[in-house]
Amino acid sequence: MLTVHSDVLLPEETTRIAGMAVTTAARTGFDIGRRLPVTAAVQRLDALMNATRLRTSQIQAIGKHHRGVRGLTRLQATIALVDGGAESPYESLTRLILIRAGLPKPETQIHVVDEWGHTVAYLDMGWRDRRVAVEYDGAQHWTDPRQRRRDIERLANVEALGWRVIRISSDMLRTPAVIVAKVRAALSSR
């Protein structure tokens, strides 16, 4: 299905890639955030921000030049939830489940180091002050034997540093209450 929108584009909202006129990342983010349902918009904006290092302030700056256009309220709700640290749509969805359940907003891509300052892991999301992390594991984490071995070693090293790690898979996203209960219990125990 093709959807066509008619909008005014300011000169600074377009650029050329391989000779083709396209909207800038900020303008694209502006349109995604105001047109898509919030969950879908957050997933796509997280990916756009991760890929381009776009910041929410750049998206909001576009809005200042287009006051009164449709979808600005939705855009603000979306921007409040985006986080360019998410590395997959499912990480975004996991984070949204936690936030919508009333849990504190987790930090993304937490850099964990050992006592010598060596990198042990980058955790998908969590709460550094309580050493609670949530890791979304895609299919390759369960089906690829080498990835599975690396994950087991990595998890053991992270837990040895005092972290509690809750692992989430795609099928678990169908039962958000279970995820929330596990995370809430882990946070409460810390």
List the domain boundaries for the chain. 11-79, 89-189
Full pLDDT tens readout for the chain, 190 residues: 888 877 889 999 999 999 999 999 999 999 999 999 999 999 999 999 999 999 999 999 999 999 889 999 999 999 999 998 998 999 999 999 999 999 999 999 999 999 999 999 999 999 999 999 999 986 555 566 777 888 889 999 999 999 999 999 888 999 999 999 999 999 999 8
Alpha helices, H only, the chain: 25-35, 38-52, 56-64, 72-79, 89-100, 140-143, 145-160, 176-189
CB 56 within 8 A of CB 79: yes
In this prediction the pTM is: 0.87
CB 42 within 8 A of CB 59: no
pLDDT at 141: 55
Has domain 89-189 been given CATH number 3.40.960.10?
A: yes
pLDDT at 139: 55
pLDDT at 142: 59
Place of tokens 């590395």: 87
Dihedral over Cα of 174, 180, 181, 186: its sign = positive
pLDDT at 67: 87
User: Both ends of the chain: CA-CA distance in Å?
Assistant: 49
